[in-house]
Structure 1
């Protein structure tokens, strides 16, 4: 058994033994409702074929699809906070407000390992989550007043896309569909 597979299996066994009661799928206070996609928004979908094997190279911010945020936050800071092949942390602004965008790409050895990674994240979630379609496989999102995070996988790649705002600025009401489009577009751009 490979070390990564063994570690994932041990983590899953630990989580199964520690999981408590409560329904993690029940939305909590401060959770942002999932509005429908705007009809005038172009739909970008992740590549259809499961089992695709991703490889990463170059800087993720250059390849990530940030276009779903451009109409609300047209300017991106010139100096990104982090820009490696697996992590993009940047800030986008408008004249009135700003959003921090984090895209974390976890490249695993197999699709089964990616699935286990996402399932384990679901089990360990500290805040209620909601399933969503259109952003890879097994996508779900969770939120609080200033932060929304979307997690999914496609093939051997796990994407975690997170938007954070200053509470005074407020989170856009349609942030979840925007994060879904960011994830789908990023999978499409990274597809081999």
Structure 2
């Protein structure tokens, strides 16, 4: 058996909770790969909310979605993921199946524009309220750069303290790799 790498394992986790007609959130659109995966998973009858502060990320995501004919079920916002609560339709509150965040910086983009612990923790708190029972939040954490190291410590400490009566928290990490590789924090709402 070969252990799944980080990004394929996120897809395995998402597949376990996403279905046609579901509601999903991409808190950090980046180049649009996860947004497209979510859109394909929930289908035309579902809804995906995508967030990113960088115009390049939103444009790249929009293009990827249009090329795959998966744009109609997606709402994109050039805003921080900390604004998620302001943009979710009321009927979707408590009905979100999955959310994913790739923390850090836009691949191939400006490495000085990064996610930060305070906004991420606020977003995690907000998403946990939006998930339905059995819903899943996935954080792909990148501690391999200075800001990422700080964010990874604070966010990991925060989710470690979540009440086990309400949430299950998984950390999936390859511990024998060099250069602080990324890892997954997955939070399932009971």
User: What TM-score do you get using the length of structure 1 for normalisation?
Assistant: 0.30
Q: Which has the higher contact order (CA 8 A, sep 6+)?
A: 1
- TM-score relative to the length of structure 2: 0.30
Q: Larger Cα Rg: Structure 1 or Structure 2?
A: 1
Which is helix-richer, 1 or 2? Answer: 2
